[in-house]
């Protein structure tokens, strides 16, 4: 499951069997996300499971005028949750 391959070209994100590996401030973060009508989500956990973050936004699909801002807010909220959870 944790054997990953390049997922998005030059991005450092890698994809395994249903799980995504993302570099984080305290090491690799494992998780996934998804979209359903009206919502986008992102959930990640540290390798040891001590740090976890889940973020859901309620605008999906996003109108083109706000899509980039929505994605930045989703990433920022996820990063903030990981950074303040309990440190590295």
List the Cα angle 31/56/65 in 5-degree steps: 115
Cα–Cα distance, 31 to 8 (Å, whole number): 16
pLDDT single digits (tens) 45-59? 888 888 888 888 887
The pLDDT score that the predictor gives to residue 88 is 62
DSSP conformation letters of 7-27: -STTSS-EE-SS-EEEEETTE
pLDDT single digits (tens) 19-68? 888 887 778 888 888 888 888 888 888 888 888 888 888 877 778 888 88
Q: Is 53 exposed, middle or buried (0-12, 13-18, 19+ CB in 10 A)?
A: buried
Percent of the chain with pLDDT over 90: 0
pLDDT single digits (tens) 4-17? 888 777 888 787 87
């Amino acid at each position: 499951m944790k054997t990953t391959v390049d997922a998005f070209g030059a991005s450092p994100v890698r994809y395994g069997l249903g799980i995504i590996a993302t570099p984080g401030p305290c090491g690799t973060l494992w998780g996934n996300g998804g979209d359903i009508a009206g919502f986008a989500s992102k959930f990640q956990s540290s390798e040891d499971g001590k740090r976890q973050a889940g973020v859901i936004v309620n605008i999906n699909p996003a109108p083109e005028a706000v899509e980039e801002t929505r994605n930045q807010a989703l990433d920022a909220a996820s990063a903030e949750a990981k950074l303040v959870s309990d440190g590295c």
